Amino acid sequence: METASLTIPELRRKLSSGEVRPREVVDHLASRIEAVDPKIKAYVHLNVEKARAEADKANPALPLGGVPIAIKDVINVKGDPCGCASKILEDYVAPYDATVITKLRRAGAILFGRTNMDEFAMGSSTENSSRGPTHNPWDLERIPGGSSGGSAAAVAGHEAFAALGTDTGGSIRQPAALCSCVGLKPTYGRVSRYGLTAFASSLDQIGTFTKTVEEAALLLEIIAGHDTRDNTSGEQPAPAYTAALKTGVKGMRFGVPKEYFIAGIDPEVEKAVRTAIDEYRGQGAEIVEVSLPHTKYAVAAYYIIATAEASSNLARFDGVRYGRRVQNPKDILDLYGRTRAEGFGPEVKRRIILGAYVLSSGYYDAYYNRAQQVRRLIADDFRQAFKKCDALLTPTSPTPAFKLGERMQDPLQMYLADIFTIAVNLAGICGVSIPCGFTSAKLPIGLQIIGPKWGEEAILRAAHAYERATPWHKEKPPL
């Protein structure tokens, strides 16, 4: 495990000095995965020989030269399957690279493995996968969070040096919190979505899972930037994020939203987050209370907007243009109906039906249009709050990881797992989750740092200052 447990900067030093070769890194990682992934089940696809071939051509002088990076099974990598953890795409092989993959390749990274996820990124536990659930490395009877649970579990379980994920309503930050790693959700438009299989196009954002904040900053420097192939890509220049880590938080002002400390939050989670806030105060930061009054409407607005967009985006998977096709259909309606009935899982079907309903004639104004109005109010709340502070400090998840199967029959309870993360996506701003402690049962707890639009420098600076002063990121799961 020694090599697999290294951070990217530590690994880069060994690669640059020649102490270890890229092929040896791939071999060490493959051995680690072989040893622990039968228990964790973080990966849905591995091609070790392809990774070895890439390693033999790796240039250690590049920023990620020889570093293997795992990829969530919703981002296209040419020649690899991109099944989105769904039966309907189980035979699909990507014909092109997503922009983030092109950028990782240019930086010298080795694309290594496809990680498990909730089907089409719809879920909070990685139990809605056609390939079965992923298990939390800290307690194999618990969920790793979702939808990017495979990526989070792979990094936390030292089966990956880093991984890409996607965040539509918390799908990077929530699993990062539950698995004790760093999960970064950039500003909407900061990272190109070209080559990402869409769930909800106005909410989806590609981000990263890493062991440390420094690695998150490094990867964001590589994958951020404008892309003409994505018409939602922002033109805001991407700064040198790693340079921002060198300054502490003295003089910064952090807001604590009163709406994020609610009845029902786990007491150990609240205690750990408030202790983290005290740490910032001790480092010379100013702490102020702020209000985000429309937070209570975020879950309702999100599950109208997200399901509406999902219904529209998934219409193309019909057995004609994309996806598996049933045999011997009676007619075109039978082809459509049976293909989608057999290809999609229960949660995806639920969201398609909800989305079709809120977009239907007579209900559009009552649901979808009103949800968009609420979305604007939520974004305005954040804008007003950031007039008073540089960033916000909140819990990432209201509870630690729950048991596998515990919420599968109660969708509303499952949806509430994202109650502290959803508003960030609705507002299109940035957020990061970092480890801030453990419960008495040794389950990870995450601190969420929320920044304004294009405010990644501030949140990474704040996250790094906390990480340097605390031991939580150094803890390793019992595996």
Q: Which residues are catalytic?
A: 72, 147, 171
Assess contact for 283 and 465: CB atoms under 8 A: yes
Instruction: Give the Å distances, CA to CA, from 219 to 45, 404, 468.
Output: 23, 31, 19
Assess contact for 356 and 311: CB atoms under 8 A: yes
> CA angle 410-414-420, nearest 5°?
150
Q: Give the whole-angstrom CA distance, residue 110 versus residue 160.
A: 11
Q: Give the whole-angstrom CA distance, residue 126 versus residue 176.
A: 13
Candidates 320, 324, 321; CA nearest to 344 is 324
What are the strands of the beta sheet with 110-115, ordered from one edge? 43-45, 110-115, 68-72, 163-166, 206-210, 182-185, 430-438, 444-451, 391-395, 253-257, 286-290
Q: Which amino acid is at 449?
A: I
Q: Give the whole-angstrom CA distance, residue 385 versus residue 377.
A: 12
Assess contact for 324 and 91: CB atoms under 8 A: yes
DSSP 431: E
> What tokens were used for 21?
């070769």
DSSP 401: P
Q: Give the whole-angstrom CA distance, residue 192 versus residue 374.
A: 26
The 10 Å CB-count burial string (b at 16+, else e) for 44-67 is bbbbbeebbebbeebebebbbbbb
Cβ-proximal residues to 84 (8 Å cutoff; 6+ apart), any chain: 73, 74, 117, 119, 120, 121, 197
* SS3 assignment, position 165: strand
